[in-house]
Structure 1
Amino acid sequence: MGSRRAEGGTLQCRRLCHQINVPPIYRDDLHHDTEVFEHGIFRVLAAAPSVTVGNPQENVDAMVSIIESAKSDLIVFPELALTGYTCGDLFGCKWLLDAAERQLQLLADRSRKSPAAIVVGTPLRVQDSLMNVAAVIHQGTIIGFVPKSFLPTYREFYEGRHFRASSPGDPNEVHFGGQPVPFGSDLIFHFGEAVLGIEICEDLWTPLPPSGYQAVAGANVLINLSASNETIGKAEWRRDLVRSQSGRCIAGYVYASAGPGESTSDLVFGGHCLIAENGSLVGQSRRIGDGQSPAYVNQTEICCDLDLQRLAHDRRVVGSFDDAIDHTVRTFRHVHLQKLAERTAPATLKRHVDAHPFVPSKSEELSDRCAEIFAVQSAGLVKRLSCLSPSTPLAIGISGGLDSTLALLVALHAVDAAKWPRSSIIGITMPGFGTTKHTKTSADLLIEQTGITGECIEIRQLCLDTFRSLGHSPLGITIDDQTTVESLQTQLNQMPDDAADLTFENVQARIRTMLLMNRGFVLGTGDMSEQALGWSTYNADHMSMYNVNTSIPKTLVRFLVRFAADHHFTGETTELLHRIADTPISPELLPPGPDGSIRQNTEASIGAYELHDFFLYQFVRNGFDREKVLYLAKQATFDSTYDAKTIESTLDQFAVRFFRNQFKRNCVPDGPKVGSVSLSPRGDWRMPSDADHRAF
C-alpha cells in the first residue's frame, strides 16, 4: 500500500471515527466488525402509515401495526410522522409537543419485541428551540436523535417559522425519558455491518447533502425521512435524486415520504417511498398520482433487500471513494447497537436477481442497449481502421456461427462509417473435419448477401499433413502415406460421440488462424464468456489483430445478432441471421454425427452459458464467494430449469476453468470495453496465472 493511501487511512480514523461517550447499552466495540447479516442481505422497509394530523396516539397505533407485521431489519417512517408534517402553528402548542414526546416513548416500549432498528420523524424540544428530528429506536430504547440540517423556507414550505436547523452549537445529548440520549447531525449508527446515516427531506436537495459526508465516514445505508408533496414531474426528480445519491455514495438509500393522510389545505402528499442501491432503484411504493388504480391510497410501503456485501466490494475497488477522505473535515460520533443476533439470509429475496445480468429484460431497453453496443464496437474498429492503409484487407473467419457473424456485422458498420468498400472485408470459410452442411451454408449465404469478398480454403489436407508431420493418430486412427482426406473423414464420422482428441482440435484451430494471419488484418471473433472459460485454442482463435467481441458475453451475442437482423436488414438476410442465431453453439472441431448434424455441442460439454455468464458477473463484478453466488442463483429465474447439483457443478467448473486460463487472457488482443465487466489484462482484470482456484 502506498504511503499516501496509508496516511489517508490514518486521517480517516482521526477525523471520522470518534466514539461517543454514551452509556454502555449503546456500545458494542468488541463486535464492531461482526457480520450479523448472512450474505450481507439487509432487509429494509420504508412506510408512509395512515396519518391523523395532530394526533400522535393514532399515528403511533398505525406505526405499531406496521412494525408488528414487518419482518425487516430496518423500518423507516416519514418526516414528522409522529404528529403529521402539516400541523402548522400547532407545533407551537405545548399539548401537542407533550403528546408527541409521550407517544414516542410509548412507541419505543411497544416495539420492544421487534429486532428491527426503527427510524421515525418527530418534533423535539431542544433547550429553548423546537427541532425537526429523526428518532432512532432499537429494542425498546431510543438511542439517538438526528436533527434536520437544512430547513426549506420558500414557495410552499415554511419550516423556518416553526423549527430551528441543526448548528455547531447543538448539545451532544438531550435528556429524554430520564436518560441521556445522543443528539446531533454528526451521529452514525452501527447495526452489525449495516452502518446507518440519517438525513431529513431537504437535506438531500441541497448541493452538499449530509449523506455524502456520512458515506465517507462509513455509512452504507442512508436514510431519508421526508415530506415531499406531489407536483407535476416531481416524482421523477425525486427518483433521480435518490438513485444518483445512492450511486455517488455507493450505498443503499431508504426514502420514506409523508402520505395522503396529511392535511390537504394547500398540498397533497403522495406517500412515495423509494429504496435504491448504488445507482439502481431496487423498489418503490405506490403514490398518489402514479396513474394506477385505485387512484387514492391511504398507506404505502415498500420492502426490499439491500446487498451490503456488494456495496462493500464496490467501495473497496473504487479508489476515488477513499480519496474523498482527504477532502472531508467533518467529525462523526458512532453509536453501536448491542445484542445483535445473527440474521439468516431470507429464503426468498425481496429484490430482483437477474438471471441474465448482461441482457436487459425489457424489450425497449434491450433494443437501446444493442444499438449502443453496436455503436461502441464499430467506433473502436473505425479508429483502428484510421491507422491502416485503405488497401488493407480485413480478414474474418466466417464459420456460420454466432460470434463470427457478430464480428462481421460490426465490421460492416465500421467500413461503412470509414467509407471503405465492403469488398475490403474478406470473409474466409475454412471447412474442416467437423464442419457441417448447415453452418457452411449459413456462412456462404452470409458472405453473398452482405457484399463482402468471399474465399473458401479447405483445411483438411493441411491438417492431415500436419498429423503426419507430428506422427499423430487423430482420435486414435492410424494414418500412413496412403491415407486420404476422404478415407480419414469416413473413419472419423464413425467415431463414438464421446471421442476426444485435443491435438486433433488444436491443429485445425491453429491452421485456420495461420491462414487468416497471412491473409490480412485479422478481426477476432471470440467473446468474453469464452475468454472467461478459456474456451479457445492458445494462439489460434485466441489471437487476432483486433477483437470487437472481446467484452461481449455469450448470452448477449445472440440478442445482438437478432437485433441486427430486425433493425438493419430485411428479407432473406433477416431470415438468415435468425437462422444463425438459432444454431447450437459449437466450435465444430470434432466430426459431425452420422446424419451430418453438429455433434460437438459446447454447452453440453461445459455447461449452459446462461449459468456461466451469471457466475462471471457475480464473481468479477461483485467479488462474491461461492456460497453467495449459489444463494443468488437459487433466487434467479433462468431460461432452463437446473437442479441444485447442476448449478453447483457448473459453478465449480467455471471456477476451475476461470483460474486455470488466466494465462490466455494475459495476452489477448486489443478490443473495446462495452459494459461494466471486462477481462482485459490492461485495465479491468489483472490476476496471476497460477492462482489457486481451491480457495474460492
Structure 2
Amino acid sequence: MTARLSILLAQINQSMGDLTANADAMLAVRARAGTADLILFPELQLIGYPPEDLVLKPALIARAHDEVQRLAAATADGGPAMLVGTVIQLDDGLFNAMALLDGGVVAAMIRKHELPNYGTFDEKRLFVSGPLPEPIHFRGVRIGVPICEDIWFPKVCEHLKATGAEILLSPNGSPYELDKDDRRLALVRARVAETGLPLAYLNRVGGQDELVFDGSSFVVNADGAVALQMPDWDAAEVLTVWEKGADGWACLPGDHHALDVAPADLYNAMLVGLRDYVNRNRFPGVVLGLSGGIDSALSAAVAVDALGADRVWCVMMPSRFTGDESLSDAAECARLLGVRLDTIAIEPATLAFDTMLGDAFAGRHRDLTEENIQSRVRGLTLMALSNKFGHMVLTTGNKSEMSVGYATIYGDMAGGYSVLKDAYKTTVFALSEWRNANRPSLALGPDGPVMPVNVITKPPTAELRPDQKDSDSLPPYDVLDPILHGLVEEELAVADLVARGFDRDTVIRIERMLYIAEYKRRQAPPGVKLGTRNFGRDRRYPITNGFRSV
C-alpha cells in the first residue's frame, strides 16, 4: 500500500485561448518536475479562465481535445502524471473538467459540480453541472478533486469523503479581491474540519482582462494547520510530500511565504493586471497624460513598475488654466520614474473649436461644454499618438470619479485600460504614499519616491477653469468614498447611510449622480478589479433607471 506521495503544485500563469502555448507551458513544468508522482495545475489551465463565450466555439473544443491527447501521450514515459484543467463536450453538454493524464492516456475525467453564477462568474450559461464526483484512484491512493466552487459548499467534499477519498486536491481559478486570503483559508479549514481530510488549494497567477489572479496557494492538514503557503503574485512550482500515518494522510511542512496586505496587495494587483493586459495584447507600451495630479502620477508609477520606464510615454498637455505647479510636478514625476515626457499644448486646438463652434454657440455663455472640449482635445491627442506609434492609451480616472460621473466621456475616459478603475480616491492617496516608501518585488521601476510629495498633499483639481478644485463639485473624498462604498459595495439605501451619520441631502445627491452616470461607465475602458464589486462584471445596472431609494 502506498504510504508516500509527491505532488507538484504548479501555480502558473496562462494565455487565454492559446491552447498550444498553455499545453507547452505545462509540459515545461513537467520537464522540471523531477521525482514528482503527480502535477496539479489550476482550473481550466489549458483554456484560460474565465473563458466566457470562447468555449462555445466548436473549433476550440476540438483543439482542447487534441491538446489533452498530446499532453496525455507525454505521460507514456512513466514520469509524473498530470491533473489538467480543460473542457469536455459530452452528449449531455459542455463541462468544466479536470483530466488525469497518466501512462499515456486520459485515466480519469472529473467534472465540476458547483457552477458559480454571481459577481464576475457566469458559468451556468456556459457549462452543465457535473455529477457529484467520485475519488480518482492514483498509485493506490483515493484522491478527491473538488474544482474551485466545489469547495465553497460542503456537499462535494462530504460526498468525496463518504466515497473513500483520502486527500483533497482543489484546482482553482480564483480572482483577487481585497481581504480574500482570509476568506479562502477559513473556507478550506471548514471543509477540512467537516471531512477530516487534508486539502491542497491551488490557484493561478496573472491577469485576464479586468481580473487578476494572485496565486497564494496553500495546503491545510487534517488538524487545520497550514502545512505550507506559496507566494502571492508570482509563479511558483512547489513539490509537496505527503505521508500516510495512523491518522491518515498529511502534507509535510514546507515554506510559509508572507502574503501582501493592503495597500501592497492592491498595488501588485494593478501591476500584474496591467502587465499581462499590455503584453498579451502585444502593445509596445503605454501612453498617458501626466497632469501633475495624483491619479496620473500613480498610473504612471504602476505602468513603469509593470512594463519598465522605456515602455511608458507620458505627455503633459497644458491649457491656459494649467498652473506652474502642475507643470513642475509633472516634470519631477517623470524624472523620478525615468520616463519620456513630451509637452503638447492644447490651446491651439481649443481656440480652433471656439472658432469652429462660434456661430452655433452664439448667445450662450461659456460653461461645462468648453471645459469638456479641453478634456476631449487631450483624449484626441493621446489617441492620435496611440494610432501613430501603437502605444495603448492608459486612462487615469479613479472609482470615485467614475461613480459620480466626474469624468469626460470621449475625453479623459478615452483609452484602452485603467489601473485605477476600482480604486476610490482615498485608496489612491494610500497607494501613492505606500509606493513612495516601498518598491514591490515584481516592480521594474525605481527604488525610492516615484512622485513629489506635493502631488499627494495638494488639493485635487481638473484645471479646466480658473482656480478649479474637485471640492467645488464633490464632497470631500473622506466623506464621498464611504457613501459610495455603501451605495455600490453594500447596496445600502439613503436611510441606511443617514443612520451612519451622513447628511441626507448629500447622500441623495450622490445616489442620483451614481445612477445617471451609468451610461458613461458602460463606455469606459476595462480596468483591474480590486474590491468586491467593480463596475463591469460585478455590478450590472440598467442605464435607463428611474429607481431611487427615497
Q: Which has the larger radius of gyration?
A: 1
Q: Give the TM-score normalised by structure 2.
A: 0.49
TM-score (norm 1): 0.39
